[in-house]
Structure 1
Amino acid sequence: MQARAPIPILRMFDEAAARAFYVDFLGFRLDWEHRFEPDLPLYMQVTLGDCVLHLSGHHGDATPGGHVRVPCTGLREFQQALLAKGYRHARPGIEVQPWGLDMTVSDPFGNRLTFTQALE
């Protein structure tokens, strides 16, 4: 057995808000969506670079308020691109930490993503 990178599952409650935040604002690609039946909750996968996330509307899949750290490069440029979009629910800032740079954004459901760039 060889373990691979985990795929976090984050809880969502509003499909349109999830797409607006993850796809339109952060720039994730929507890979696929799944429903067991038309009137049941959505489960979907989004990807940004090597970061893969699952977003679930299913009760019990995840607890709102999760926190995922996403290692990255080019954080300052990413931040500037996000600010240029004028997303009305977030104006992310960068914090200098002993290990590098962190930029935390919260999704509409209380989950946090911290994009972190290590010191060179």
Structure 2
Amino acid sequence: MVMLGTITPVLRSFDEARTRAFYCDFLGFKPVFEHRFEPDSPLYMGVILGACELHLSEHYGDATPGSAIRIAVDDVTAYAAQLRAKNFGNARPGAPDKTDWGSLELTITDPAGNKLTFCTDLPEDAA
């Protein structure tokens, strides 16, 4: 039987400064690598936070702006509070919403229109 490994979403980005501010300064990801074919060519960058690794690309065709991904987090309520405390100019998330499928979820849109939904599964008796 073939075993699948982890996935690494590639998300489209347009503005390097805004992308860095959003993912690194606001969400807390750390850069893993940066790649450009030439000094003035588009940026392809990897970022990581905990076990979540994302690739962010300015290259045409690498991804579609406005994509949506779900990211598991151990305590989405605490993460939302940390993000609100940063008073980031373009995103001030509220409290996570309880879903019909038994999780708490918080969706934040990045500068390229990608939707990141941070989610924590609720215990069965709380769902």
**TM-score w.r.t. length of structure 1:** 0.96
Matches within 5 A, 1:20-31: 20-31=21-32
Q: CA deviation at 1:2?
A: 3.2
Secondary structure class of the residue paired with 1:105: strand
> Which segment drifts farther, 103-112 or 86-95?
86-95
Matched residues in 2 for 1:10 and 1:100: separation? Answer: 24
How far residue 92 of structure 1 moved from its aligned partner, in angstroms, is: 1.1
Q: Tell me the CA shift for residue 65 of structure 1.
A: 0.3
Task: Report 1:52-63 matches (<5 A).
Answer: 52-63=53-64
- Over the aligned positions, Cα root-mean-square deviation in angstroms equals 0.9
- Sequence identity percentage: 50
Tell me the matched-pair count: 120
Q: Please tell me whether Structure 1 or Structure 2 has the larger radius of gyration of its CA atoms.
A: 2
- Please give the secondary structure, in 1, of the residue aligned with 2:119: strand
Name the counterpart of 1:102.
Answer: 105
Residues of 2 paired with 1:2 and 1:15: CA distance? Answer: 35
Distance in 1 separating the partners of 2:78 and 2:63: 31
Could you tell me which amino acid in structure 1 is paired with residue 114 of structure 2? N
Give unpaired runs (5+ residues) of structure 2. none
Q: CA deviation at 1:5?
A: 1.2
5+ residue gaps in structure 1?
none
4+ residue runs over 6 A deviation:
none
Q: Does 1:16 align with 2:17?
A: yes
1:55-91 CA distance string (max 9 Å, x none): 0000000010010100111111111110000001111
